[in-house]
Amino acid sequence: MHDSIYEDLNQQQAAAVEHGQGPLMVLAGAGSGKTRVVTRRIARLMMDGVRAHQILALTFTNKAAGEMARRVEQLGGDYVRVATFHSACARFLRSEAHLIGFAPDYSIYDTQDRDTLIKELMAEQHISPKEAKPSLIGNWISKLKNAAMTPDDGLLGSSDVMRLVERLWTPYHERMKKASAMDFDDLLLNFLQILREHPAAAERYQERFPWVLVDEFQDTNRVQYDLLKLLCPPASAGGSGNMCVVGDPDQSIYGFRGAEVRNILDFESDYEPCTVVRLEQNYRSTANILRAAETVIANNTMRKDKRLRTDAEDGASILRLKATGSTEEASTLADRMQALVDEGTSLEEVAVFYRAHWLSRGLEQALKDKGIPYEIVGGQTFFERREIKDLLAYLRVLINPLDDVSMARIVNVPPRGLGKVSLERLRGRALEAGMSLREAVGEASLHDVLSKKARAGLAELAETLDKAQAAAEQGAQAALRAILEGTGYIQHATSYGDAEDSTREDNIAELVSDTVQYDDAGDEPPDGDDPAPAGLPGYLQHVALLTSADRGDDGPAVRMMTVHAAKGLEFDHVFVCGLEEGTFPSMRTADDPDGLEEERRLMYVALTRARKTLMLSSARDRMVNGSMETMRPSRFLREIPEDLLENYAPSWRRYDLDDDGSHSTGWSVTPDPEALAGLQKGVRVRHDLYGSGVVRRLAGRGMNARAVVRFDDGVEREFVLEYAGLQLLEDMEF
């Protein structure tokens, strides 16, 4: 044995490292030292005489590949090629592409290049971009390739878009080959074609790489697994079978990218007889967190038997927040984070996970209100997202027709046949007439320098803006809805055919909800010496103040991210919010058993990121696409053993919610006599929906006791104290 290789390994890790000839599957549970095992195994092979160039190690990101190679060298091994599937195939094709008619110096097209070519082909065949975006066609072509299929396999169905994909499939690939170019999917498919059609080439690579290791095997798609079986065939097919795959079916969460959990589930039978090593010792989480995760994932059927264990202490109970609404949820989470900071926790060890990006909006506002810096990992803050900035630009133009920057952003979004040259012509005519760009859009006499298509598009835009401007008299929500209806923006934003289509739709729905909440909170005329503007101007000011409060890049911050982005990370303190049916699990998996199992794997990933503490939250009521809906707690919450959970409520709330989530019996109120006694004219209070304000008047007694509160936006509201849930803040001079 090599002491440096085996030191600090447990029995199962050592067994995986020292395994010799033949197939090996390492089922590596969360926090079980997977990367350590992979790198130690590579180093051990080299120390036992295997040359570095005989080892092919594959993973999914360049960052992971670089880290693995670095660790092997630190262990005393030579430089070993650790590559992504795409980079390895791209390199091999430089030597082999001639076998299928490509030049050795072929070009690699990125997504933008691909879509540009598809746009050209659509123009040649007189297919209007209004029928389908080139990106939508390109993404469907990519989906078919990742599933190792063609339009002839019948996956596409008979919709208009699918018929266009079928129509463009052959011309696209013919044009690519003529240009000696490959897209990212072709890198894998073309090398697979070579291995299948040229046995001599396949044999060369099998002899060249007698040892193959694959990290994150649960994330492989059909094409990648077919490649592996030809690069390193099982003994039953005459190969060495020296393939080691490392992964965890319980963490297979990329089905939307084409990953097939069946690959890791079928590996044992495909490579029989196969040695299976289970890494079940968790070095990350407390026993309570681990038991919660294991109990939840045990409800899945598509998995390998594996039970994580830990030598760590039980640790703190898992906190369970049942909030009345999303505002209370966000505010309470922010308060809890501040408490952690007050106890000495660094914000870098605090993370918030959510199922979808749109859930970040309320959290961002709560953190800004409390001055807690945060960072959105793997994405943009809510109001920085492209679709949100587009719609806000529309709203700004309604209020300020002189805003040429906002008008230029949206004049051709969605496309109206107004390209860069046409826009400059319109700008020139506007300048000559002494008009803003918005005014020029509404002045048909200035459009004579434009194409017929552009003139028609501008006429429709002018009509929509006029209608939205009239609707703005009713508030921000009415203006936004008029824009969405008049422009078809939702269809535009959700027709790219990629995984972000649903994300963009959810974000737009959340913006609608935000305008509804703002309008509802400000439906009484403001008063005071310096009132905020009402309606749409007030909403845009509200948004501007939020976005101007964004933190700089320096200093520690709470990390906020989707659960997908959290894969591979770990934090001392984790918050998982939005745990309601239809949110997490997503409503899109309601009738899909396989999709529901992937949602449960997402929950497993979320839980196992936490090292010390975990807080899980849901809201009884949540604004969804502008309508308040009563939510039911996520089934994943019910799957966690009750003895692991501790109900958590903010100190100012003296009621609890039942898990059925109903309004009639779902919650009860026990008034806090001290809190009620402390309410008097001039004190500051906080409300779940309306924020902070000052008590103006008190009336009534007992169950009829009422308070009138003027909130910080100048709006006064009256509450029955027994049911208001007002939080008593500090006294202040009135």
Radius of gyration of the chain (CA): 30
Q: How far apart are CA 317 and CA 616, in angstroms?
A: 11
* Active-site residue, selected from the candidate residues 41, 278, 438, 609: 609
Active site residue 529: no
Question: Which residue in 143, 265, 238 sits closest to 601, CA to CA?
Answer: 265
Active site residue 487: no
User: Is 216 considered catalytic here?
Assistant: yes
Q: How far is CA 129 from each of CA 161, 416, 453, 497, 591, rounded to the nearest angstrom?
A: 11, 11, 13, 14, 33
Of 13, 34, 226, 416, the active-site residue reads: 34
Structure tokens at 293: 């995760």
Per annotation, catalytic residue among 183, 186, 215, 519: 215
Return d(Cα 680, Cα 705) in angstroms, integer. Answer: 12
Catalytic residue among 13, 59, 218, 251: 251
Q: With b meaning 16 or more CB within 10 Å and e meaning fewer, what string describes 479-498?
A: bbbbbbebbebbebbbbbbb
* Helices H / strands E in the chain, number of each: 29, 23
For residues 331 and 327, give the distance between their C-alpha atoms in angstroms, rounded to a whole number.
6
Distance CA 266, CA 262 (A): 6
Which residue among 216, 364, 506, 510 is the active-site one?
Answer: 216
C-alpha closest to that of 645 among 660, 659, 632: 659
Distance in angstroms (rounded) separating the CA atoms of residues 35 and 684: 53
Stretch (H or E) spanning 281: none
Check if 385 is active-site. Answer: no
| Residue 388 to residues 254, 372, 484, Cα–Cα distance (Å) | 26, 23, 12
CA angle 666, 668, 672 (to 5 degrees): 150
- Does the annotation count 215 as an active-site position? yes
Q: CA 590, CA 609: separation in Å to the nearest integer? A: 26
Asked if 638 is an active-site residue, the reply is no
- Give me the active site residues, please: 34-35, 215-216, 251, 609
